[in-house]
Amino acid sequence: MEFGWTDEQRQLGQAAVEFGRTLNAVLQGPGHPEGFPHQAWLRCAAFGIQGLPIPEDLGGQGADLVTTALVLESLGYGCEDNSLLFSINAHLWSCALPIWKFGDDAQKRRYLPPLCNGSMVGAHAVTEAGSGSDVFAIATRAAPYGDHYVLNGSKIFITNAPVADLLIVLANAGSAGETADLCALIVERETPGLTVSRPFEQLGLRGSPTGEVSFTDCQVPATALLGGRGAGMTVVNTTIEWERSFILASALGTMRRQLEESVTYASSHRRFGHPIGKNQSVANRIVDMRVRLDAARLLTYQLAWLKDQGRRTMLESALVKLFLSQAFVESSISAFETFGAQAYMADTAQERDVRDALASRIYSGTSDIQRVIIGRLLGL
């Protein structure tokens, strides 16, 4: 594995940092943080973020995955809004990516260019009130009927749903009482019978809207089937693996910024006649932030390199999701504690990062689930 950056990669990474910084003024405007930052979304699409690994002939940038991870990390370093970054990553890895990997030519040509240029916002609707990681418990049904499917059921805690133009919906196409026959369907927002709730109120990631999606005799053409009949489990497993791999890549940049800000503050903020960084308890906390950052970066870029080589990465993706989510939370708390009472005030960068980071242990498979997957893949 070679992680030395080319000149082109360095330039692209620095450009992403500088671009990310230009977003901060927009994101602090009157339309944010309580609403979806659509203006910033479109600017990111114009820069090429939403289509980084998608082939150029389908509207993307055609970047390899190591470069994609570098750009996402750089964007996270420059841009201070974790919610925008999360919505972009969810859109890319759970909607655009599966259409690229499993869509037929007509589906790719129809949906990928607008998903890459930002004119469409994508979502992936899997979770239900009675099923999360247990996808075989999905109750939403897609009954085959002639040249279409009839969807009935509901999904909950769906990222981007309130603003999504396109959803990939996992449903059971089998008969009642039979083993789940999972299928994935591409469903457009204006399809009759589809209803989306208002955004839920959230502890963090407040600019990344989450909602409920309901289907009542919602007719979806058979041409919207993604990957073919019975491919739903393959689609969702592949999608979840990609999510685990890269949905937190931008958090590497946030952690890098937290580390640098903590070092600066601890070196300049004085108590008892010397900088607080001279206190071993403070210094040790910041040292641990650096260790977590370096370990998380190596795990992430190793995984990206393996995927670029066409290797299977089920174990590595679970390791990255587990370690990076834990590291993101712990480093956010460490920065919060370093800044002390100042960080406890509402809407400081430190308190926002803590609130935003907490969800990373839950979405795309909880930390508990990642440990179960890793244990099984180790033969336990």
**If DSSP states are collapsed to H, E and C, what string results for 212-244?**
EEEEEEEEEEHHHEECCCCCHHHHHHHHHHHHH
In this predicted structure, what is the pLDDT of residue 2? 65
Is 243 part of the annotated catalytic residue set? yes
Residues 85-143: pLDDT tens digits? 999 999 999 999 999 999 999 999 999 999 999 999 999 999 999 887 777 789 999 99
In this predicted structure, what is the pLDDT of residue 270? 83
Pick the CATH number of 7-121 from 3.30.2010.30, 1.10.540.10, 1.10.3720.10, 3.40.50.2000: 1.10.540.10
Q: Is residue 71 within 8 Å of 63, Cβ to Cβ?
A: yes
Kindly report the number of other CB atoms within 10 A of residue 71's CB atom: 28
- Distance CA(39)–CA(251), nearest Å, equals 22
Among residues 237, 235, 291, 286, which one has the least CA distance to residue 263?
286
In this predicted structure, what is the pLDDT of residue 176? 56
In this predicted structure, what is the pLDDT of residue 96? 98
In this predicted structure, what is the pLDDT of residue 347? 82
Strands 166-172 and 122-125: parallel
Mean pLDDT of the chain: 93
* Token digits of residue 3: 């992680």
DSSP state of 129: T
Superfamily of domain 123-230: Butyryl-CoA Dehydrogenase, subunit A, domain 2 (2.40.110.10)
Q: What backbone phi and psi angles, to 5 degrees, belong to 186?
A: -90, 115
Where does CATH 2.40.110.10 sit in the chain?
Answer: 123-230
Where does CATH 1.10.540.10 sit in the chain?
Answer: 7-121
- Distance CA(55)–CA(52), nearest Å, equals 8
> Domain 248-377 belongs to what topology?
Butyryl-CoA Dehydrogenase, subunit A; domain 3 (1.20.140)
Catalytic, out of 73, 80, 212, 243: 243
pLDDT under 50 in the chain at which residues?
30-31
Q: Which long-range contacts (CB under 8 A, 24 or more apart) does 31-34 make?
A: 32/81, 32/207, 33/81, 33/83, 33/206, 33/207, 33/347, 34/206, 34/207
* Token digits of residue 209: 């809207």
